[in-house]
Each structure stands twice: as C-alpha cells, then as structure tokens.
Copies of this chain bind each other. A is one copy, B any other.
Amino acid sequence: MRALLVEDDDRIAGNVRRALETVGLSVEHVHSGEAAWFEGGTQSYDLIILDLGLPDLDGLTVLKRWRGEGIETPVLVLTARGTWTERVEGIDAGADDYLPKPFRMEELIARARALIRRAGGRGGARHALGHLSVDLNQMTVAVQGIPVTMTPLEFRLISYLTIHRNRVVPATELLEHLYGDDDKKEANALEAIIARLRRKLGGSAIGTRRGFGYFLRGIA
C-alpha cells in the first residue's frame, strides 16, 4: 500500500508522512510539481496527497495532466486557502477529496482511508513476511504464529522496517523516526533496541548493512 505525498513544506510533509505510516502506508515524498508529475506518471500508487501550493508546476495542472493521461489513482488535495471557487476547481480537475489547511491529522487519515477503501484497495494494516507478521491495528507482532509482546519503541521500529521492507533503512533515518530530530541520544540507543528486537524475533529477522543501516528480511 503506497502513497505519494506532494508537499513542498518539509515540516508539514514530515507530520503527514508519520501519520500515514502509522496506518501502514509506505510514503514517497516529492517537493515539486515536476517531480510529482513524473513520479505519479511512472509509478503505481494507491493514493496521492497533493498540495496545491507548489513552487514550480501548479498542483491543479499536475492533477489535470494525470487525469488526462487516464491515471485513476485517488487524489486528496490539500490547500492553504479554502475558498469556494478553489474547491470547485479542485473537484473539477479530478480530485477525489479536498482538505483545507490547517487540518487535523486524524481527519487526513480518515479521509485517506476512505479514499483507499472506496478505490477497492482494502486498507491492509496487516503485514506478513516469512514467519513474521505485524498487525498495525492491534499493535501485535507474531513469529511463526505465536505472539510476541513489544515495547513502544520496539514496535515503532519494527513497523518502520516493515513498511520499508524493500530497502535498507539508514540508521540516521531510523533515529529520526523514533525520536524527533531534536532529541540527541547516543547512537548506541538504536543498537540497543535492535539487539532487543533480535532477541525477541530470532536473530536473522533484521539484517545489518555495515555503514549504511538495517533491513528486514523474511525469516527463512
């Protein structure tokens, strides 16, 4: 379940990304209209979150182009100014839903879920790979069917790795995800959590790429 986030403001983007990821979406983020136009046109997404106020190519233009090309991905439009005309424009251009800033993250999530559901993509908050299964709703993790209790940090870490299962996640990114970038912890804190996770999940669940980061592998 992948989402494309088009937003030039990094602060907002960070929040949105975190919110979406907690409900099990894997989020790709681009800052500009051009990049969005390219990403959305070449990759397959289950949902696109589109901010209208972009530096280069206008969001509405991008949206119209997509629709013109027959791309049917559900699009949720964000905009600063919530005027009536703009809303109509957005709907006319092919937006599936519309959300004026500022908005509450819960609302964004609710609407995102609704869009995905309507599009027929069943919101799968349940991931399984190999002998490992992660349920983002119940916040449970099971190895070979038997449940394993997780502490908050451990769960957030395994969730993040699960959502980004297909790539190596840099340690810095994990640290940023677990603690707001402000908190300064010894780098060792992450390693400690990884160690505890490995003990619970079995040693081979989490792999290390020395100098880069960590990745999840199905347990063989």
Residues of B within 8 A of A114 (CB): 38-39, 42-43
Q: How far is the CA of A43 from the CA of B39 in the complex (A)?
A: 29
- Determine if B151 and A211 form an interchain contact, defined as CB atoms under 8 angstroms apart: yes
By the criterion CB–CB under 8 Å, are A117 and B209 in contact?
no
Copy tally for this chain in the complex stands at 2
A215 / chain B contacts, CB cutoff of 8 Å:
138
Given A38-B97, A152-B210, A210-B151, are A168 and B115 also a contact pair (CB < 8 Å)?
Answer: no
B139–A209 touching, CB < 8 Å: yes
Q: Is the beta-carbon distance between A42 and B118 smaller than 8 angstroms?
A: yes
Q: Are B212 and A152 in contact (CB under 8 A)?
A: yes
A160 adjacent to chain B (CB < 8 Å): no
Per the bound structure, the CA–CA distance linking A155 and B111 in Å amounts to 28
**A188 touches B (CB below 8 Å):** no
Q: Is the CB of A168 within 8 A of B138?
A: yes
Given contacts A138-B215, A139-B209, contact A115 B42 (CB under 8 A): yes
Q: A42-B115, A139-B212, A215-B138 are in contact. Are A34 and B152 (CB under 8 A)?
A: no
Q: A106: which B residues are within 8 A, CB to CB?
A: 173
Q: Nearest chain-B residue to A164 (Cβ)? A: B137
Min Cβ gap A36→B in Å is: 13
Task: Check if A139 sits within 8 Å of B168, measured CB to CB.
Answer: yes
A–B complex contacts, Cβ < 8 Å, 7 sampled: A38-B114, A42-B115, A42-B118, A137-B166, A137-B168, A138-B215, A151-B211
